[in-house]
Amino acid sequence: MHLILILIVIAGGMGLSVEAGLLGPLGGEVGDLWATFSVFSVGAALTFLLMLFFSPRNSPSFFAQPSWQLLGGVLGPIYVTILTVATPAIGIAMTMIGILAGQVFKSLIIDHFGLLGTPHRKIDSKRIIALIFIIAALVMVAQG
């Protein structure tokens, strides 16, 4: 099961690279914020249809959840705007490796301290080495 999830996550990462490649030109045509808005509008419409047909009818309201858990709704558009602005300037590879470096760095901290309700997973030398390799990749791609 873990292998399947890892493969799905890798496919999702590939999708983000495609999204970054689509957002740059779209932002150049309609403006960065309109490109971000269009991505979230299409995503919201698709999510609504999925909820309409596949979500249980008795699920709790998201308004009943702690407000900090809804912060992802603020972070998502910021992330997509960054992709829209950065990709045309530095390229998809540089953008994705930079995003990955930031994600891994912050993820290690979140795991180590068990933040946001996640289980504790201590930072060890293997995780630090993995982060160093990602940073090395960022440096090598930047020099290319």
Angle of helix 72-90 relative to helix 92-113, nearest 10 degrees, comes to 150
What does the pLDDT read at residue 109?
A: 97
Separation CA 107–CA 81 (nearest Å):
21
Residue type at 101 in one-letter notation: A
What does the pLDDT read at residue 55?
A: 85
Tens digit of pLDDT for each residue in 40-97?
999 999 999 999 899 887 877 777 888 888 888 889 999 999 999 999 999 999 999 9
Tens digit of pLDDT for each residue in 10-51?
999 999 999 999 999 999 999 999 999 999 999 999 999 999
Measuring CA to CA, how many Å separate 10 from each of 17, 124, 144?
11, 23, 24
* Residue-range domain boundaries for the chain: 2-55+67-143
